[in-house]
Structure 1
Amino acid sequence: MEISGIRYTRIYIDIFREVFGVFYKNKIPALNDIETYFKNHEARILKDLLKDQIQKKIIDRGVPIVGFSIPFAQQFIPALILAYEIKNKMHDVHICFGGPVITLLSDQYLKDLIRTSPIDSCVKYDGEIPLLKLLNFILHGKPIDEPNCFLSNKSSVLTPIVFKSFRVRTASQRHKHNRLQKKNIKQLPMETPIPIAQSTGCYWGQCSFCDYINLHVDKVYRSRPVKDIIDDIKYYIDMGFSNFRMLAEAIPPRHANEIANNLTTNNIDIKWHSFLRVDNGFSINMLEAMNKSGFSCTVGMEHSNNCALKILNKGYNQKIIRKFFEKIRIASLSENHLNIIVGMPGITYAQEMETLEFCKEYTDIFNQFKCSIFTLTNTSEMGKNPQKYGIIINEDGKANKFNSHGRISSINFYDPNGMTSEEKHEILKLYEQLNQELRSQIRFNGYRNLILTARTGAYLEDIYFIFDRLSLQQMVNLNTNNNDGYFVVNMSASRRHQVIIDKKLSDMINIFKDKKFNFKDIIEFTTDENIALQYLKEMVNGSLVNVV
């Protein structure tokens, strides 16, 4: 949900997780339950939080069409709440929903949703061309020739409801609709990671747990021409950006190598990041070329246990993983991330601990381990054939499986040979501890625990700090009262690294943001050692500063 017109920009509100608890506990509701969410306390908070932005960015400007891109199921209810709020104030505005969640919902659910809500249309799969045609229809009355378009007499004019972009676009079409307009990104910090579309689909496409392949209508892997990708990068470089994220399920060896060599040959000095799968096709020479071009990666290993890897149908075993990681180590690729899935069917606590210990062997090449609990979905291979994997669907899971509004809902299941919920969350905590230790080493030179446990500043005076520029540039004013403003800082490394700071601390940040400072400087500003220590701990705990 992005009302400023910038695609792909994520605004986290996890700092309000307790306040907005209902949005996390409930995902895709039954149609007759939707209205109950509009009157609760969480809905009022959300509307109050964004009412000024809605007024300035949409209502005052008379915006004719408002689009919501919904990547995650937990955003569906908040999107509906905001859609109702906008529609109540602008009766003639056209509201369109799109994104992965909409793509995975059934056509029937979307038709019924539009008939009973302020939503006027939905776009499934690739949305750029259907959205352009929708704009021409709404603004200029041009007929829509998009195939597989459902029509409804919701108003006096036949209004498009669900666009299903089944048409395979050519490389030139993909290129034309991939760039963000300059006027929409000129306010972004130069360090902001800019998305570059590398491919659609997955070149492996056989993982038993994965539902992502359903986001692409024909489930065929298609990569963009390297020249188009390089041209996109140059387009953003001309505006001052130098940090890029490839939008891909996983980039294959040959394509990654071609991009890297092209960047190096053209002396393009950037940082770029993409997902990789464990793949023997990556040679040391390839990885060295990628490293030279400014590359870093997130590897979707998921697990190191051979039994788990077989269940997940990853196509490799632990021996292959070790060989791949050794190549990364030799190529000096560093500051990478590793994805881990906890709680696969039949996997025990002891086996999960083995994977954790395996990960600790590679902290020189991975500085963050992204851990999540296994989710069973309806149209994954596991969801279709649970008995094959020893999964027992709970009674409420069976109801959910056949009343899931499409492919979006997870299935509750019983795993007699696997871990308990408590054990799964214990494993998550252990990974978070490991991540915290790595952050402390990298960002704070090992001083993090000393600072956070300090009762006085006696041992802190010789430590010098500097504010993290990217963090400061992501501060968002949450209060319209200038005399009592608060800020939330959204950290790129972890959603847990989000803090609220008061007006006085924000004033201190403005004073010290471009220079080194120590604990004595903080005392001088606050005139109170206890308050200075409190502020320093808040800044360290929120990863606002680095030790220099």
Structure 2
Amino acid sequence: MDIIIAQFPNKTIEIAPLGSSILIGSLRQRGYSAKQYDLNIVLKDELLKSVNLYNLYNKFLPELLKHDFTNSNYNVLKSFYRILDSIEKKHSIERIEFVKELLQRRKYIEVFQDETNTKIFESMLNILTISNKFFEIIILNDVIEKDFKDIFVYRVVDKYLQEFCDINPKIIGFSTVQMQRKFTLWAAKRLKVKFNFKGNVMIGGSDVTYYKEKYLKYFDYVDFAIYQEGELAIEKLIDYIDNTCKLEDVPNLIYRKGHEIVCNKSITPHDFDKIIPDFDDLDLDKYITNALPMQVSRGCSWGKCTYCKHFRTYGEKYYFGDINNIVDIIEVLVKKYSTNLFHFVDDDFPKPLKNKFCDEIIDRKLDIRWLTYSRLDKGICKEDLEKWFKAGLRVIEWGLESASQKVLNSVNKGINIENIKRLLFEANNIGFLNKLFMFHNLPEEDYDDLYESILFLKKFVRHKIVRPFWEISTPLELLEGTPLYEESLVNSVFKKVYLSRGELLSKASYIHKKDYRIKKDIFNKEFDGVEEFYKKQGVLNVNDEAIMFDVIIDELSNKHKLYAKVRL
């Protein structure tokens, strides 16, 4: 075996991973032997089994809460216990596994026509959301493993690490984003120390792209790191191990040369549109939807928003694939994996590219349903929206951020509020489910700007133009590597900025120029009872664990009367 690619817990279990599946597809198409493991779905599927939930509820969580934790970790454990306690008292914890298995068997109607099953589904999402922090608490405390070795997490991880060692590949690679980092590094060290793996451990993904050499500087059990795109880099690294390539000729590679850490130059492979993502190693029946991820482009065509660092993820700011090749791949995936549901994960899917894509979908008479992100660009017209709908697009997650034109201008968002209103009205009339990504605390945001944004969102939700979705309650994250962060270090963008403590921390704390207590009062006043009101209307309370269910429920509601709603 040339390489095993694995990943540990991140957000969702509704859909298989794309990045590692593209790498596996690329390697196999070029004759390399590779295998993929998604331990995110393995661990979370195990978590949602009744036997493990009852053990946590009756034994582990009550005992863990007696230990000395930081306030934040204690609150995570306490919240987890309260979720389970509420479910057990109202229904029974066994119902969680029952609903999960209905979803895995695609029995969506049985879940969403039933009020209790729908509420259990929402509780299941809450468990999944909190599970990442719970896993971190479990693995990063040696005392817990010593005293609570029966917690399933250790058993499951060790089973797979042993399997990796038994296969004994040339490379074990871990794909990681920031939220996976702690678990990934813990597992990599465990692989080397407890299981005495003698092969090469490699880490890649967006987190490596942001921190590069620091991965090898601080973690001696990591042999190689790959930043930006990995398709060509992994192939060349395998060739190096096989003595058919020089180490300095492996692009995008970070490695040690004596006491020096070397970062090779990057190459952007533009042939991702010829790679068929390979999901064959994954138990797709474990995921709670049969949707698949897809990608038409990499990067962001705008790339100017000062608070964002997505432009750094890939080798170039923005590039896209050949539409004919992309649609060819979709046809293969539809047939091979028996699905017509797709989540396009592009950071940006601009109008010209989307129009070409939709023309091809329509010409080939492909019957698919899909979700995508989109900017609220001025050039989008009614005819464009109608074409997108005809091609099967049903849910658009629009990036608005703020409804204050002053605030939008201050972060170089490049969109216009009056045009946004038109776009949302037209999209709703055509049949799209509109969702708005908004947050607060952008630099120029005054109290009136926040109030204006909240009223804008509530108004468009109340008039059934936008789906109830309250991400606006999330404050700005000031991230290293963004233009806004760099500006905040030299100008008085905020009242005060506290630099990140630690080499691999990306968030900087800040104090806004405006009193945050007043902003909290505005939120408390305007959102008092709002979420509860929409829950009573049967509106599903979704988060990043369940975005494809907006597509699924919206489609089902055209033919069936459901308790769960995504529209008012």
Q: Deviation of residue 50 (structure 1)? A: 3.0
**CA displacement 1:468-508 (0-9 Å, x = unmatched):** xxx9xxxxxxxxxxxxxxxxxx951499xxxxxxxxxxxxx
Q: Pick from 182, 186, 209 the counterpart of residue 307 of structure 2.
A: 209
1:269 alignment partner, SS class: coil
Q: Pick from 337, 357, 368 the counterpart of residue 259 of structure 1.
A: 357
Gapped regions of structure 1 (runs ≥ 5): 28-35, 449-470, 472-489, 496-515, 519-539
| Alignment of structure 1 residues 372-411 onto 2, 5 Å | 372-386=474-488, 388=491, 390-394=493-497, 397-398=498-499, 400=500, 405=503, 409-411=506-508
In structure 2, distance between residues paired with 1:181 and 1:253: 29
Task: Tell me the equivalent position of 2:84.
Answer: none
| Alignment of structure 1 residues 431-510 onto 2, 5 Å | 434=530, 437-438=533-534, 441=537, 491-493=545-547
Q: Deviation of residue 307 (structure 1)? A: 2.4
| Alignment of structure 1 residues 134-283 onto 2, 5 Å | 134-138=237-241, 142-144=245-247, 145-147=249-251, 149-152=253-256, 166-170=266-270, 173-177=271-275, 179-184=277-282, 187=285, 191-219=289-317, 221-239=318-336, 240-283=338-381
- Give the conservation status (yes or no) of the 8 Å contact 1:196–1:246: yes
2:372 alignment partner, SS class: strand
1:357 alignment partner AA: L
Residues 1:412 and 2:516 are matched in the alignment: no
- Give the conservation status (yes or no) of the 8 Å contact 1:208–1:313: yes
Task: Tell me the equivalent position of 1:355.
Answer: 453
- Give the conservation status (yes or no) of the 8 Å contact 2:399–2:437: yes
Q: Deviation of residue 405 (structure 1)? A: 3.3
2:407 alignment partner AA: A
- Give the conservation status (yes or no) of the 8 Å contact 1:345–1:417: no
Q: Pick from 43, 66, 80 the counterpart of residue 185 of structure 2.
A: 80
1:392 alignment partner AA: K
Task: Tell me the equivalent position of 2:236.
Answer: 133
1:92 alignment partner AA: K
- Give the conservation status (yes or no) of the 8 Å contact 2:268–2:315: no
| Alignment of structure 1 residues 1-150 onto 2, 5 Å | 2=7, 7=18, 11=41, 18-19=76-77, 37=140, 39-41=142-144, 48=154, 50-55=156-161, 57-72=163-178, 74-87=179-192, 88-107=194-213, 109-114=214-219, 116=220, 118-138=221-241, 142-144=245-247, 145-147=249-251, 149-150=253-254
* Cα gap change, 1:122 to 1:437, in 2 (>3 Å): farther
Deviates more, 1:7-16 or 1:45-54: 7-16
Deviates more, 1:320-329 or 1:235-244: 320-329
Q: Deviation of residue 193 (structure 1)? A: 2.6
Task: Tell me the equivalent position of 2:24.
Answer: none
In structure 2, distance between residues paired with 1:77 and 1:301: 31
- Give the conservation status (yes or no) of the 8 Å contact 1:123–1:163: no
- Give the conservation status (yes or no) of the 8 Å contact 1:208–1:380: yes
- Give the conservation status (yes or no) of the 8 Å contact 1:149–1:161: no
Task: Tell me the equivalent position of 2:523.
Answer: 427
In structure 1, distance between residues paired with 2:530 and 2:169: 47
In structure 2, distance between residues paired with 1:255 and 1:373: 32
**CA displacement 1:313-341 (0-9 Å, x = unmatched):** 2112321211221221232212x321011
- Give the conservation status (yes or no) of the 8 Å contact 2:480–2:506: yes
TM-score w.r.t. the length of structure 2 is 0.65
1:208 alignment partner, SS class: coil
Deviates more, 1:129-138 or 1:188-197: 188-197
2:478 alignment partner, SS class: coil
* Cα gap change, 1:384 to 1:142, in 2 (>3 Å): closer
- Give the conservation status (yes or no) of the 8 Å contact 1:346–1:415: no
- Give the conservation status (yes or no) of the 8 Å contact 1:257–1:286: yes
In structure 2, distance between residues paired with 1:429 and 1:246: 36
Q: Deviation of residue 309 (structure 1)? A: 1.2
Q: Deviation of residue 234 (structure 1)? A: 0.7
Q: Deviation of residue 52 (structure 1)? A: 4.9
* Cα gap change, 1:382 to 1:186, in 2 (>3 Å): closer
- Give the conservation status (yes or no) of the 8 Å contact 2:208–2:226: yes
In structure 2, distance between residues paired with 1:77 and 1:288: 45
Higher relative contact order (CA 8 A, sep 6+): 2
**CA displacement 1:391-445 (0-9 Å, x = unmatched):** 1334xx14x3xx7637x5111122122524x84598399769656654654568x
- Give the conservation status (yes or no) of the 8 Å contact 2:307–2:483: yes
2:142 alignment partner, SS class: coil
In structure 2, distance between residues paired with 1:306 and 1:436: 30
2:154 alignment partner, SS class: helix
In structure 1, distance between residues paired with 2:186 and 2:445: 40
Deviates more, 1:318-327 or 1:291-300: 318-327
In structure 1, distance between residues paired with 2:145 and 2:508: 26
In structure 2, distance between residues paired with 1:330 and 1:165: 49
Q: Deviation of residue 134 (structure 1)? A: 2.3
**CA displacement 1:150-206 (0-9 Å, x = unmatched):** 44257xxx9x97765621323xx2124451243446556594331212111211111
* Cα gap change, 1:315 to 1:333, in 2 (>3 Å): same
Q: Deviation of residue 133 (structure 1)? A: 2.2
1:413 alignment partner AA: Y
Task: Tell me the equivalent position of 2:431.
Answer: 332
In structure 2, distance between residues paired with 1:49 and 1:433: 43
Q: Deviation of residue 217 (structure 1)? A: 3.3
1:276 alignment partner, SS class: strand
Task: Tell me the equivalent position of 1:300.
Answer: 399
1:260 alignment partner, SS class: helix
2:352 alignment partner, SS class: helix
- Give the conservation status (yes or no) of the 8 Å contact 1:382–1:389: no
In structure 1, distance between residues paired with 2:312 and 2:8: 27
In structure 2, distance between residues paired with 1:432 and 1:53: 47
Deviates more, 1:236-245 or 1:42-51: 42-51
Q: Which has the higher helix share?
A: 2
- Identity percentage over the alignment? 18
* Cα gap change, 1:432 to 1:68, in 2 (>3 Å): farther
Residues 1:344 and 2:467 are matched in the alignment: no
TM-score w.r.t. the length of structure 1 is 0.67
**CA displacement 1:491-543 (0-9 Å, x = unmatched):** 51499xxxxxxxxxxxxxxxxxxxx9x9xxxxxxxxxxxxxxxxxxxxx9xx8
2:439 alignment partner, SS class: strand
In structure 2, distance between residues paired with 1:437 and 1:49: 43
2:353 alignment partner, SS class: helix
Gapped regions of structure 2 (runs ≥ 5): 1-5, 10-15, 20-37, 49-60, 62-72, 81-129, 550-559
* Cα gap change, 1:317 to 1:99, in 2 (>3 Å): same
